[in-house]
Structure 1
């Protein structure tokens, strides 16, 4: 198929977010044999000398020109927040057979983010979000054809084999772009106080988020990594960091309340209930050198279930009403 994708471009985090989900899904689509044309609404808008209103209009106009030239079978929006409903309406009139999917990786916990999805309600064929539970139910109640989309990994981007290298700087690592007073830091800091013998690396406090090669260098120099989000009891929700942790082969620490036991077993991740439980399990797997086996099994399993080709294929099949019964999350 000819597919046009719209989303972040090279200016996103000054190219430091080269491991973003949209990049991996585009790789998957290409590896499935599709012809992909990508445009960045944000990069186009930024060319308007900082005039946001002008830049937004320019981005929407460019999208229509690209679509008119290519006449795609499928349009995929990735966090394309500058694209207007009127633009999609015009596109639908010109290409009534072109399917449209809207993919949003953000946690849909504010009214603004929820309304952002609703504005395309009658214009997109499907809306994908990376959480299940109440947020997905709410979208469906509003009449959106919605589906859960796992965070994908791409072995050409997320590389690493910590289970063959024991000379790593950190036993336990955590990243969070948030102020130190945030509740997100309470759990990792408590783990560090309970287990002072564990070499911890905590990064991102003070909202100084780390991107690019430095992020991967730090991550690949750790044995265990904590997947801990702004909301941790929302069914099957995680930021895309979960794919980076599993993809690079860390021994991933997952909160039991997240529900990921549906896909990942105790042999493939370190599940915990609270800080005391996590600290105890970290010490155990480090002392017995079990973290390496868990890391390897976790990486292999996550890459099998949630690789970029499989997720891209699921997006196509769900959008085009094809059989999706062989995907483990099809009934979420």
Structure 2
């Protein structure tokens, strides 16, 4: 049994203090909760907030120098055993070297939750692999990782985490008649999303109560608790890709998948990413816009089956991919310990594996 003593962990990411905590359900916050539940001490350093606060004009770019200095000072005072960096693109390579100088023996890691087809994000991710000991990303597609050409072979998959103190809904416990909607999508209309949802809308009968909002066709964005509460109003929710004309990376999804499954709603998701490998029959996959419409209609009619699938997805998400379990896996991997259990997802270095 792998045992890890209590550690000091510094997480560097965008904790959005200046945005009234509207992203309190972000991946970095769930990971922080997971490390704390494992008995570790965690300090959260919000790089973008610190950079903006360090600039007279509130500019993260102009305040990045002072932010880097403040990060080094924080690490020197806190002396963390581990520094875990999220999408902190303002941190320079010299700062990573300084962190190692100021904190002897520190282990450095990064995590990324963006899709691999975003060139700028992936370029910085690949660059950071040379500065950290381990890298974690929410896709297990070795070919997609190889295309990014990270200079190190230490890239590992991690699932989007669920947190029982965040995703508190149990939509599967409610029958259709007690819910406001049969189908919901909350998100932006980037890529082909507007087109996908228009095509779906045209195929659904009037008795399927639906709402497409949160950015679709310029509709108002929804954040904070209002976002989580909205997910609980619908029997079924959509996890549509940004662009359904583009091949999806193996096991990739945005953190939407964790939010939806965690709230206990039934989830429709594209077959291309093979998320059933991770969540089994706890979600419903579709291979075309036509099949998606057919699935929605069928599950609107068969409420018992809808509730059974949603319950299975909720159970798998909360047991297999909860933030505490993912945090333990990340620590064991970063500290190069023998894994304490079979986690149920790919755990080898992805640069040399094949899906």
> Shorter-normalised TM-score: what interval?
over 0.9
CA contact under 8 A between 2:239 and 2:267: conserved in structure 1?
Answer: yes
Of residues 118-127 and 149-158 in structure 1, the stretch that sits farther from structure 2 once superposed is 118-127
Alpha-carbon separation, structure 2, partners of 1:141 and 1:120: 8
Aligned to 1:178: 189
Say yes or no: does 1:119 pair with 2:134.
Answer: no
- Over the residues paired in the alignment, what is the CA RMSD in angstroms? 1.8
Of residues 225-234 and 135-144 in structure 1, the stretch that sits farther from structure 2 once superposed is 135-144
Alpha-carbon separation, structure 1, partners of 2:89 and 2:69: 15
Say yes or no: does 1:282 pair with 2:296.
Answer: yes
Alpha-carbon separation, structure 1, partners of 2:121 and 2:219: 21
Aligned to 1:254: 269
Aligned to 1:79: 87
Q: 1:190 to 1:230 in 2, by over 3 A?
A: same
Say yes or no: does 1:59 pair with 2:67.
Answer: yes
Deviations 1:236-271 (A, max 9, x none): 1111010000000010112111111212223x1111
Aligned to 1:326: 342
Say yes or no: does 1:199 pair with 2:209.
Answer: yes
**TM-score where L is the length of structure 2:** 0.87
Alpha-carbon separation, structure 1, partners of 2:309 and 2:61: 50
Q: 1:51 to 1:176 in 2, by over 3 A?
A: closer
Of residues 72-81 and 52-61 in structure 1, the stretch that sits farther from structure 2 once superposed is 52-61
CA contact under 8 A between 1:26 and 1:36: conserved in structure 2?
Answer: yes
Alpha-carbon separation, structure 1, partners of 2:99 and 2:33: 25
**TM-score where L is the length of structure 1:** 0.93
Q: 2:25 aligns with which of 15, 19, 32?
A: 19
Q: 2:39 aligns with which of 33, 40, 59?
A: 33
Aligned residues: 329
Alpha-carbon separation, structure 1, partners of 2:47 and 2:332: 26
Unaligned runs of 5+ in 2: 1-6, 351-355
Alpha-carbon separation, structure 1, partners of 2:109 and 2:196: 37
Aligned to 1:94: 102
Aligned to 2:353: none
Alpha-carbon separation, structure 1, partners of 2:318 and 2:267: 14
Unaligned runs of 5+ in 1: none
Give how far 1:176 is off.
2.2
Q: 1:245 aligns with which of 235, 260, 280?
A: 260
Q: In structure 2, the residue corresponding to 1:302 is in which secondary structure?
A: helix
Q: 1:141 to 1:79 in 2, by over 3 A?
A: closer
Alpha-carbon separation, structure 2, partners of 1:175 and 1:295: 18
Alpha-carbon separation, structure 2, partners of 1:208 and 1:101: 36
Q: In structure 1, the residue corresponding to 2:188 is in which secondary structure?
A: strand
CA contact under 8 A between 1:254 and 1:269: conserved in structure 2?
Answer: yes
CA contact under 8 A between 2:276 and 2:283: conserved in structure 1?
Answer: no
CA contact under 8 A between 1:127 and 1:144: conserved in structure 2?
Answer: no
Q: In structure 1, the residue corresponding to 2:90 is in which secondary structure?
A: coil
Q: 1:177 to 1:14 in 2, by over 3 A?
A: farther
Give how far 1:165 is off.
2.2
Alpha-carbon separation, structure 1, partners of 2:219 and 2:103: 43
CA contact under 8 A between 2:52 and 2:63: conserved in structure 1?
Answer: yes
Alpha-carbon separation, structure 1, partners of 2:210 and 2:16: 32
Give how far 1:114 is off.
2.2
Give how far 1:213 is off.
1.6
Aligned to 1:154: 163
CA contact under 8 A between 1:139 and 1:146: conserved in structure 2?
Answer: no
